[in-house]
Structure 1
Amino acid sequence: MRKTLLILLTFFGLTRVQAQFISDEAIEVSVGYGLSVPYDEVGFFGTGFFAQGEYVLGINEWIDLRPYAGYIFTEMNENFGGPIKPEDKATINAFLFGGKARFVIPVDWVAPYLELGVGSTVGTFETVTAKRKFEKSGINLHFPVSLGIELGPNHNVTLELTGYLHNSPAQVAGAVAIGLSFPVGYYY
């Protein structure tokens, strides 16, 4: 009985400590122009749509932790990639999820940031070049990297260039996106 009581009190104490660790919470929604580029060719790329939601856990004004989920869809577009061979492809139709950390330089009105993390992509990839042929559906590991700026007095608007580095399909899926952040309050 004493051990059970001790475990319950420890668990309750740890959940209360977490509340002090996180200074603020928010939801950020980003929408943008999706891109997919193979690692070993630069003459063509896919274009499409990107959307992502993040749950922002602010540690301090310099660092945020961000679990995320999103969707990206790209297809080949000869209007932007120039003349390409019919077999060349760099497309993706997938769901993204994972976690990342945002490192911000907290400047008034315009705050630059860098994001790094790890996650997974579930969906269909096509990377066909002179050196590689990868056409599969499934789950793949990715590493998100983003550069951007937070705008406004509360830094609730973002402009970013984001990329998801995939090793197996040998392509970078990414986006040029705009985001809006909405604070989430505590209701105790």
Structure 2
Amino acid sequence: MSISFRSVIIIILVSTFYSNSLKAQPKKGEYINASIGLGLSTSYYEEDGGGTGFYAQAEYANGITKWIGLRTYAGVILTNGDKTNENGDPTEYRISSKAFSLGGKIRVAAPIPYVAPFIESGIGASIGSFHTYTPSTNLKKNGVLMHIPFSLGLAVGRKHSVDIALSYYFYPSMKQISGAFAAGVSIPINN
């Protein structure tokens, strides 16, 4: 029984990838993650009139395995939509969020060395003021609203200690999505 050159190369590549992934997967254990970024708000159904602003979040993360981690978070999103357009005329679109958010989520990360893509989702609540004003929607609420967090990102670095992500909160009752393009850093606890 002969083994082809192609089979040998495939075996070497798979073995190399597998051994490297065991050494550089997202970390297990407990840590704090702090992130900051550009806050954004938009309507579910309209593309115009989104608000921009500030986003910050802190997470307590517990890496159960190198693939899966549980996270509790608290953060703030402050976005404001324009009330007038560039000509000074009132606009038909005004989408804003001014809220403190907290909740829990699960992160699933792929075991790739130095650049580990991840996806996370869960459930949470936001306390604050929300406004979604478009030609088809006029909603304004103050108080506590349920949201669904969703993030796509990369954990980068030798120890995957830097996160770069698109993080969003979906507010079904407001027909609004608020979130951010954010960067964060992880700090281990009890190491």
1:136-168 Cα deviation digits (max 9, x unpaired): 201111001100000111100010001100011
Residue among 47, 50, 64 paired with 1:45? 50
| Secondary structure, aligned partner of 1:43 | coil
Q: Normalized against structure 2, the TM-score is what?
A: 0.81
Residue among 91, 111, 134 paired with 1:106? 111
Give the conservation status (yes or no) of the 8 Å contact 1:44–1:82: no
Q: Name the residue aligned to 2:8.
A: none
Alignment length, in residue pairs? 163
Label 1:156 to 1:82 Cα distance change in 2 as closer, same or farther (>3 A): farther
Q: Name the residue aligned to 1:147.
A: 152
Residue among 161, 165, 172 paired with 1:160? 165
1:43-92 Cα deviation digits (max 9, x unpaired): 1200000000000011010001000000000012489x988853421000
Q: Normalized against structure 1, the TM-score is what?
A: 0.82
Root-mean-square deviation (CA, aligned residues, Å) is 1.9
Residue among 116, 122, 146 paired with 2:121? 116
Distance 1:78 1:149 in 2: 35
Matched ranges for 1:72-111 at <5 A: 72-77=77-82, 85-111=90-116
| Secondary structure, aligned partner of 1:168 | helix
Check if 1:54 corresponds to 2:21.
no
Give the conservation status (yes or no) of the 8 Å contact 2:100–2:128: yes
Structure 2 residue runs without a partner (length 5+): 1-27
| Secondary structure, aligned partner of 2:174 | coil
Label 1:142 to 1:82 Cα distance change in 2 as closer, same or farther (>3 A): farther
Label 1:78 to 1:151 Cα distance change in 2 as closer, same or farther (>3 A): farther
